[in-house]
Amino acid sequence: MQNPPRWVSTNGDVDRPNVARLFDYYLGGAHNFAVDREFAEQSMNHIPTAAMVQHTRAFLRRAVRLCVANGIRQFLDLGSGIPTAGNVHEVAQQADPTCRVVYVDNDPVTVAHSRTMLRDNAGAAIAEADIRDGDAVLSAPEVRGLLDLSQPVAVLMVAILPYVAEADRPAELVGRYRDAIADGSYLVISHLTGDEQPEMVEKLVSVATETMTPIVARSKSDIEAMLTGFDLLEPGLVLATSWRGEGEPETGAEAVSYGAVGVKRPNG
């Protein structure tokens, strides 16, 4: 193999498809390898994976714009993936260049890509940490350096909680972050569900086991349990495509994720 490009980490993880690079490919980015592209193309023969990822990203953008419109200027994006075109810092800083964004990911390849992409942006950084370790995330130098958690912040958990197994208590994990942020802070959440498209989502879950990161789909009531202490903005917890989206969802890729945006209640 030729020397890898310099945004590639050298820990050898270039031979298996990687979820962050798959997302990058589905979103039209250039930070992916042949192994990712082949896997992505094969999976798209069975499941509309690219459309699913694009819908999630569109929800993310709508939610970030709303946060900025409501006065939020700092963002903590947990399980951020590669900040491919149209990601949080671009959307937020386009709306207000003073916005500060800290991405968090535990995948060294993703972190290496992201550091290179963000190196000229004084208001954005990535921390390498496992989101299941709230203490490690909240004390990371990038978080402490760029964010003031005594002031409202938006915590983004978009397409990340499916990577947190039941054994790691996802609802308690969300609560760990809720307890660390100021009243009036926002939570943006999206989560894979098999409620509407069980067969398609089952296939997706099975395909994901072939990547490095298995996933879990959850029901609406499981996801509601993660939102304790937050007042949900209209329209509440709904299919992410319906969350202030254009038009009603049809069936298929439009109906595999719930999305919601909540505001932390005083003493929530």
Ligand X SMILES: C[S@@+](CC[C@H](N)C(=O)[O-])C[C@H]1O[C@@H](n2cnc3c(N)ncnc32)[C@H](O)[C@@H]1O
Q: Identify the residue among 213, 228, 233, 249 touching ligand X (CB under 6 A).
A: 213
CA diameter of the chain: 56
**What is the spatial distance between Cα 203 and Cα 190, in angstroms, rounded to a whole number?**
19
Site for ligand X in 222-251 (CB under 6 A): none
Closer residue to ligand X, CB minimum distance, 158 or 256: 158
**What is the spatial distance between Cα 205 and Cα 208, in angstroms, rounded to a whole number?**
5
Question: For tokens 């938006």, what's the residue?
Answer: 154
Using the contact rule CB under 6 A, the part of the chain among 7-15, 155-163, 178-186, 251-259 near ligand X is 155-163
Using the contact rule CB under 6 A, the part of the chain among 17-25, 176-184, 220-228, 242-250 near ligand X is 17-25
Distances (CA, A) of 207 to 43, 82, 233: 7, 21, 34
> Which pairing describes strands 186-192 and 257-264: parallel, antiparallel, or unpaired?
antiparallel
Q: Is 210 in the site for ligand X (CB under 6 A)?
A: no
Q: Identify the residue among 158, 192, 217, 260 touching ligand X (CB under 6 A).
A: 158
Q: Identify the residue among 130, 172, 183, 210 touching ligand X (CB under 6 A).
A: 130
Closest approach, Cβ 85 to ligand X, in A, equals 11
Amino acid at 82: I
**What is the spatial distance between Cα 237 and Cα 61, in angstroms, rounded to a whole number?**
17
Q: Identify the residue among 43, 49, 74, 80 touching ligand X (CB under 6 A).
A: 80
Q: Is 218 in the site for ligand X (CB under 6 A)?
A: no
**What is the spatial distance between Cα 192 and Cα 204, in angstroms, rounded to a whole number?**
10
| Site residues (vs ligand X, CB under 6 A) | 19-20, 23, 56-57, 60, 79-81, 104-107, 110, 130-132, 158-160, 163, 213
